[in-house]
């Protein structure tokens, strides 16, 4: 699948980091999907490890299988369920 993955920080009052929004762009369908994560799920250090080449499973070990699949393929939890993929 041809996707692009972007992480955008989410701030409270413009100063306190409260989480991340992961946006996936499917280049075949030109569809954007997003999922939000708290700072206890994704940390800046995780993103840096991933940017250096680590696999999603290694860099984001605290995420559920469903969340990691979203980052890898762009499939939403609903789409994963409809395809019969394993649940968390």
| Domain extents in the chain | 3-82
pLDDT in tens, the chain (88 residues): 578 999 999 999 999 999 999 999 988 788 899 999 999 999 999 999 999 999 999 999 999 999 999 999 888 999 999 999 988 8
3-state SS, residue 74: coil
- Cα diameter, the chain: 41
3-state helix, strand, coil in the chain (%, to 5): 30, 35, 35
CA-nearest of 45, 83, 75 to 62 is: 45
Indicate yes or no: pTM above 0.85. yes
Please tell me the distance from the alpha carbon of residue 6 to that of residue 4, in angstroms, as a whole number: 7
């Amino acid at each position: 699948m041809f996707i692009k993955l972007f992480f955008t920080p989410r701030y409270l009052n413009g100063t306190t980091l409260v989480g991340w929004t992961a946006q996936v762009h499917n280049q075949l369908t030109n569809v954007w999907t997003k999922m939000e994560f708290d700072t206890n799920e994704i940390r800046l250090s995780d993103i840096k490890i991933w940017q250096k080449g680590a696999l999603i499973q290694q860099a984001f070990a605290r995420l559920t299988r469903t969340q990691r699949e979203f980052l890898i393929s762009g499939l939403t939890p609903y789409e994963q369920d409809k395809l019969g993929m394993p649940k968390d």
